[in-house]
Amino acid sequence: MIPPPQHQQDLLTFLRKASVSTDASYRAGVLQCAEWVRGRLQTAGLQAELHSTPGYPVVLGRSRHRPGLRTVLIYGHYDVQPVDPLNLWKHPPFEPWIENGIVTARGASDNKGQILAHILGVEDQLAHNDLPVNVIFLIEGEEEIGSPNLFAFLEQHKAELGCDVIVISDTTMTARRTGTLTYGLRGLVPLELSVTGPARDLHSGVFGGAVVNPVTVLAGLVHALHFRDGAVAIPEFYSSVQSLKKWEREEWSKSPLTDARLLEITGAPRLGGEAGFSALERMWARPTAEVNGLYGGYQGEGTKTVLPREAHAKLTFRLVPDQDPEVILDLAEAYFKSLAPPTVRITTRRGHGGRPYLTDPHSGFGLAAQKALMTTFGGPPALIREGGSIPIVEAFKRVLGVDTLLLGLALPDCNAHSPNETFPLENLAFGLELNKALLAEIAMVPQAGIGA
Ligand code: BES
Ligand code: MN
C-alpha cells in the first residue's frame, strides 16, 4: 500500500510548515499552515474558511449540504509539538525525509499524516460523486496547548457544527496493520508549581545554611507526589476513579502491546508505576501525576556556587472517569501547601486541559467503525482506551451531544512528541480507504426514530 506521488507531495508540503503552537517564534509558520490546510480543503472540493480566535485560527470546511444525509464532523489539528531536543533529530524536523516507506518530520503522525488521510478520503469520494454523508472538517491550531480557544468557539458555533457523530484520527494502532478503535482517552490538567525563597540568587557559601534552598524544597515536593509503590500520594486523588470492566481487562490482555514490546518501544530498563495493575491498565485506565519539567539554579557548564532564589516544576495530571480537573487541582494545591515549610513561598499556576472521555465501542456508530476497520485491515479491530488526551472530545459530547469515534493511524513507536517523529506512508493509503469505508458505514446506521 503506497500512496500515489501526489498524496506523498501533499504530506511533504504539510510537514514543511513549522506549526509549533506553544512557541511564539513560530507564529508565521502556524498561520501559513492554517492557510495551507484551508486551501487544501478547498482543492478537495469543500467550502473552506479560516475563523480567527484570540489564538490561532480554526479551519472549517464543509461539503455542500444535502438534506436527509447524516452529518459527520471530522476533527484534527494542524499544530505540532516543539522540536527540542533538536540535536537528537537525524534531519531538521521541518525538512521531511522518506526512507523505507516511512516519513520522518515533526507532526508526521501527530496529526498531519492522520488528518490528511481524512481529507484525501473525502476528496476521493467527492471526485467520484459518492460522498455518502455531509462532512464538516474542524481543524484547529491549538490542540497541543490544550485547545484554549476551541471550547468557546464550540459554544459560539454550536448551531453550525451540529452533526450526528465526530470522527478523529489522532490516536494510535496497537501494531502495524491492526485496525484499532479507541473508545476512551485520559483527561489532562497542568499545574506549574513554583518555590521562591530569598529576594535574589545568593552566594551559597555566604548564606547557605541560614537560608533554605528553593530547589531542595521543590525536589521534596516532587518526591512527595508518589508513594513508594508508585501510587499518587495526594489525599483523595483516586476517590472518584471508576474501575475497569471485566471485558476490558480481557480484551486488553490479548494486545500485542505486551510489557516486552513496551520495553522495546520505550527503551526503558524496566517498566514501573502503580502496583496492582498491568502496564496497559496503568496507561489507559489509571490516573497519573507526571513531572514534565523541573528547573532551578545554574544549568551552564562547570560549577557555580549559587543558592537560587526560585525553582519550578511543570506538572500534569492524567485523569480518568470520573475525575474532575478542578477538583484534582484543588487537592494538589492543598497537598503542596500542607507540605511546604514556612522558609519558602509556594505559588501555583493552573493550565488548560480537558476532561477524560469514555464511550461505548458497541453502540450503533461504534459497530459501524468496527466494520470499517474490519473491511480495511481484514481482521477484527482492537478495542482500546488510550492514555493521551484530546481535550475537546469530552466537550463535543457535552456541548454538541455527540459521540466521537477515534480511529487512529499512528503507531506506538512513531515518536510522537519525541525527536524523529515518523508516519508510515502505507497508513496514508490505509487511512484513505478506512475513512471512505467509515463514512459509508456511518451512512448506513439507522437514523434514530426510523426503524431500529
Ligand atoms: N494525538 C495526541 C493525543 C493522543 C496520542 C491520544 C496518542 C491517544 C494516543 C494529541 O495530539 C496530544 O498529544 N495531546 C496532548 C494534549 C495536551 C497538550 C492538552 C497530550 O495528550 O499530551
Ligand atoms: Mn500531540
pLDDT means over runs of 10, the chain (452 residues): 96 98 98 98 98 98 97 98 97 98 98 98 98 98 95 98 98 97 98 98 98 98 98 98 97 97 97 97 98 97 98 98 97 98 98 94 98 97 98 97 98 97 98 98 84 44
3-state secondary structure the chain: CCCCHHHHHHHHHHHHCCCECCCHHHHHHHHHHHHHHHHHHHHCCCEEEEECCCCCCEEEEECCCCCCCCEEEEEEECCECCCCCHHHCCCCCCCCEEECCEEECCCHHHHHHHHHHHHHHHHHHHHCCCCCCEEEEEEECCHHHCCCCHHHHHHHCCCCCCCCEEEECCCECCCCCCCEEEEEECEEEEEEEEEECCCCCEEHHHHECCECCHHHHHHHHHHCCECCCCCECCCCCCCCCCCCCHHHHHHHHCCCCCHHHHHHHHCCCCCCCCCCCCHHHHHHCCCEEEEEEEEECCCCCCCCCEECCEEEEEEEEEECCCCCHHHHHHHHHHHHHHHCCCCCEEEEEECCCECCEECCCCCHHHHHHHHHHHHHHCCCCEEEEECCCCCHHHHHHHHHCCCEEECCCECCCCCCCCCCCEEEHHHHHHHHHHHHHHHHHHHHCCCCCCCC
Q: Which residues, chain by chain, have CB under 5 Å from ion ligand 2?
A: 110
Mutate which of 170, 359, 394 for ligand 1 pocket (most atoms within 8 A of beta carbon): 170
Instruction: Count the residues in the chain.
Output: 452
Residue among 392, 403, 388, 394 nearest 151 (CA) = 392
Mutate which of 75, 140, 143, 320 for ligand 1 pocket (most atoms within 8 A of beta carbon): 143
Q: Which amino acid is at 144?
A: E
- Report how far ligand 1's centroid is from the alpha carbon of 262 (Å): 18
Are the beta carbons of 241 and 282 closer than 8 angstroms?
A: no
Q: Which atom of ligand 1 is nearest to the CA of 316?
A: 22
Which CATH class name applies to 187-241+287-350? Answer: alpha beta
Instruction: Quote the CA–CA distance of 68 and 35 in Å, as a whole number.
Output: 32
- Report how far ligand 1's centroid is from the alpha carbon of 143 (Å): 8
Cell digits of residue 69:
444525509
Pinpoint the residues of the chain covered by CATH 3.30.70.360. 187-241+287-350
Instruction: Quote the CA–CA distance of 19 and 187 in Å, as a whole number.
Output: 24
Helix axes 27-43, 5-16, angle to 10 degrees: 150
- Report how far ligand 2's centroid is from the alpha carbon of 413 (Å): 14
Max intra-chain CA distance, the chain:
82
- Report how far ligand 2's centroid is from the alpha carbon of 80 (Å): 7
Q: Which atom of ligand 1 is nearest to the CA of 389?
A: 21
**pLDDT score recorded for residue 347:** 98
- Report how far ligand 2's centroid is from the alpha carbon of 234 (Å): 27
Question: CA dihedral in degrees (85, 23, 336, 306; nearest 10)?
Answer: 60
**pLDDT score recorded for residue 452:** 43
Are the beta carbons of 150 and 399 closer than 8 angstroms?
A: no
Which one of the ligands is nearest to 421 CA?
2
Residue among 385, 326, 333 nearest 357 (CA) = 385
- Report how far ligand 2's centroid is from the alpha carbon of 277 (Å): 25
* Residue ID of nearest Cα to ligand 1 atom 18: 144
Q: Which amino acid is at 311?
A: A
Question: CA dihedral in degrees (338, 341, 347, 349; nearest 10)?
Answer: -50
Pinpoint the residues of the chain covered by CATH 3.40.630.10. 5-185+356-449
Q: Which atom of ligand 1 is nearest to the CA of 190?
A: 19
Residue with cell 509558520: 29
- Report how far ligand 2's centroid is from the alpha carbon of 102 (Å): 19
Are the beta carbons of 263 and 272 closer than 8 angstroms?
A: no
- Report how far ligand 1's centroid is from the alpha carbon of 318 (Å): 11
Residue 258, number of CB atoms within 10 A of its CB? 13
Which one of the ligands is nearest to 106 CA?
2
* Residue ID of nearest Cα to ligand 1 atom 19: 146
Instruction: Quote the CA–CA distance of 396 and 154 in Å, as a whole number.
Output: 8
Q: Which amino acid is at 200?
A: R
- Report how far ligand 1's centroid is from the alpha carbon of 315 (Å): 15
Q: What angle do CA 143, 328, 186 make, to 5 degrees?
A: 45
Instruction: Quote the CA–CA distance of 335 and 190 in Å, as a whole number.
Output: 16
Q: Which atom of ligand 1 is nearest to the CA of 410?
A: 7
Pocket of ligand 1 (CB under 6 A): 110-111, 143-144, 146, 170-172, 185, 188, 353, 386, 388-391
Which one of the ligands is nearest to 283 CA?
1
**Omega before 85 cis (within 30°)?**
yes
Q: Which atom of ligand 1 is nearest to the CA of 188?
A: 19
Residue with cell 444535502: 66
Instruction: Quote the CA–CA distance of 420 and 390 in Å, as a whole number.
Output: 22
**pLDDT score recorded for residue 449:** 54
Which CATH class name applies to 5-185+356-449? Answer: alpha beta
Are the beta carbons of 175 and 375 closer than 8 angstroms?
A: no
Residue among 441, 444, 443, 434 nearest 124 (CA) = 434
Beta-carbon contacts of 115 under 8 Å, excluding residues fewer than 6 positions away, are 74, 76, 77, 78, 139, 169, 170
CA distances in angstroms from 255 to 95, 106, 279, 384, 414, listed in the order given: 35, 28, 11, 9, 18
Using CA of residue 202, residue 203, residue 209, residue 215, what is the dihedral sign? positive
* Residue ID of nearest Cα to ligand 1 atom 4: 388
- Report how far ligand 2's centroid is from the alpha carbon of 293 (Å): 17
Mutate which of 118, 144, 423 for ligand 1 pocket (most atoms within 8 A of beta carbon): 144
